[in-house]
């Protein structure tokens, strides 16, 4: 995995970078988990601050604040759901509907953490909209755009599993052919669209899926 992190947008307030699959966003426990996105960025950008995270297995766009005021302002945008996020995934099987929504509450599956699960009684509300991009009849797979309205842990992975279309290469939720179909999780954060909290400019940053 290359040490250089691609930077797709930069100004005095923030960076928007492209995290590779397999790299932690923030450090985990133990010296072997010290290498991560933020630690790599702190070398050239000592004021870099985390605003949000992607799962280690997920690739794609991450916003990094470059000051405390910017971190606070960007955090409020996420809290107010004012940032439109779009992901791309390849899932097992054919999704029959071209578009739709998945509205299933999620909770941590404590005996099997970090896995999450659907819990209609105790889970936190979670909403995902989806749009089929293409279907592969030969491989029985679907390429799909996913638009999370909420930002629960593993939301897209568990929602797709819940409707019978697990994301390929998912070491937590897939098994058999769906697990072995890819060496990495086929989930990529491909677009962020929002108003710059300091300038008011509309930003629409895109990153094509690398699969």
Residues assigned a catalytic role: 55
Which residue intervals of 15-128 are DSSP H helices? Answer: 37-42, 68-79
Sign of CA dihedral 168, 174, 180, 183: positive
Q: Which long-range contacts (CB under 8 A, 24 or more apart) does 50-56 make?
A: 50/25, 50/26, 51/14, 51/75, 51/78, 52/78, 52/151, 53/25, 53/26, 54/19, 54/25, 54/189, 55/154, 55/157, 55/185, 55/187, 56/21, 56/22, 56/23, 56/24, 56/25
Name, in order, each residue with C-beta under 8 angstroms of 14's C-beta and a sequence gap of 6 or more. 51, 63, 64, 65, 66, 70, 74
Q: Taking the alpha carbons of 129, 133, 137, 141 in that order, is the dihedral positive or negative?
A: negative
Question: Read out DSSP for 126-163?
Answer: -EEEEEEEEEETTTTEEEEEEEESS--TTHHHHHHHHT
């Amino acid at each position: 995995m290359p040490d250089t992190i691609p930077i797709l947008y930069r100004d005095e307030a923030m960076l928007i970078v492209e995290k590779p699959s397999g790299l932690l966003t923030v450090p985990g426990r133990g010296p072997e988990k010290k290498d991560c996105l933020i630690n790599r960025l702190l070398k050239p950008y000592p004021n870099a601050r985390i605003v949000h995270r992607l799962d280690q297995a997920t690739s794609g766009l991450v916003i990094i604040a470059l000051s405390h005021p910017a971190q606070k302002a960007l955090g409020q945008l996420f809290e107010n759901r004012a940032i439109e996020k779009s992901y791309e995934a390849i899932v097992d099987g054919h999704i029959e509907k071209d578009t739709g929504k998945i509205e299933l509450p999620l909770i941590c599956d404590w005996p099997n953490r970090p896995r999450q699960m659907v819990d209609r009684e105790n889970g936190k509300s979670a909403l995902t909209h989806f749009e089929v991009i293409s279907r592969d009849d030969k491989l029985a797979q679907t390429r799909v755009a996913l638009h999370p309205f909420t930002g629960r842990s593993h939301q897209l992975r568990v929602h797709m599993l819940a409707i019978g279309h697990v994301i390929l290469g998912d070491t937590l939720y897939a098994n058999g052919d769906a697990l072995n179909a890819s060496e990495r999780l086929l989930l990529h954060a491909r677009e962020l669209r929002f108003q710059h909290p300091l300038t008011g400019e509309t930003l629409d940053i895109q990153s094509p899926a690398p699969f």
